[in-house]
């Protein structure tokens, strides 16, 4: 009996985590589409192509990253990171405190330029979430 309850709980947890990952990806996609629909925050396809092949970052990538970041609530209107919001989201996926603290130390860094902060958050999202899930 205990084994079957444990098994059911594991299945439920796996299902919830899978839904959370999919929900996160869907929210990111919607934020990207919203920001791409606005001429002032649209990501230049040529810049994206260059970035993918050379890792050279063009200006539209950082502007777009800022729009996505603010849309998702990662950054406040003043450009500073909403640390409690980001920590809450990270803790959903990374329950190991040491691993989560490592991510916080690397990713929750406010730069002088809000676009640079957004770009750093974008790189962290890609490194710790998009490529792992």
Report domain extents, the chain: 27-130
Cα separation, 46 vs 82, in Å, equals 31
Give me the chain's average pLDDT, please.
83
- CA separation (Å) from 101 to 73, 75, 88, 90, 125? 20, 19, 12, 10, 15
Q: Which of 131, 27, 21 is nearest to 69 (CA)?
A: 27
pLDDT band at 3 (very low <50, low <70, confident <90, very high): very low
Q: Report CA 82 to chain centroid distance, whole Å.
A: 13
Cα separation, 88 vs 82, in Å, equals 10
Q: What's the CATH superfamily of 27-130?
A: Pheromone/general odorant binding protein domain (1.10.238.20)
Residue 81 β-bridge partners? 75
How much is the average pLDDT of 31-54?
Answer: 93
As to burial, measured by CB atoms within 10 angstroms (0-12 exposed, 13-18 middle, 19+ buried), residue 92 is middle
Q: Which residues contact 42 (CB under 8 A, 6 or more apart)?
A: 35, 36, 60, 64
> Token pair of 27, please?
């929210």
Question: Which has the minimum average pLDDT: 85-89, 114-118, 128-132?
Answer: 128-132
pLDDT band at 133 (very low <50, low <70, confident <90, very high): low
Cα separation, 115 vs 61, in Å, equals 9
């Amino acid at each position: 009996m205990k084994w079957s309850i444990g098994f059911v709980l594991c299945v439920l947890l796996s299902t919830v985590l899978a839904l959370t990952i999919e929900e996160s990806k869907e929210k990111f996609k919607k934020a990207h589409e919203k920001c791409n629909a606005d001429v002032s925050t649209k990501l230049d396809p040529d810049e994206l192509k260059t970035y993918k092949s050379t890792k050279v970052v063009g200006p539209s990538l950082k502007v777009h990253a800022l729009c996505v970041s603010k849309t998702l609530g990662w950054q406040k209107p003043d450009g500073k990171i909403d640390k409690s919001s980001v920590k809450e989201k990270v803790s959903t996926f990374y329950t190991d405190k040491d691993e989560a603290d490592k991510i916080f130390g690397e990713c929750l860094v406010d730069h002088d330029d809000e676009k640079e902060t957004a770009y750093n958050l974008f790189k962290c999202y890609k490194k710790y979430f998009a490529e792992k899930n």
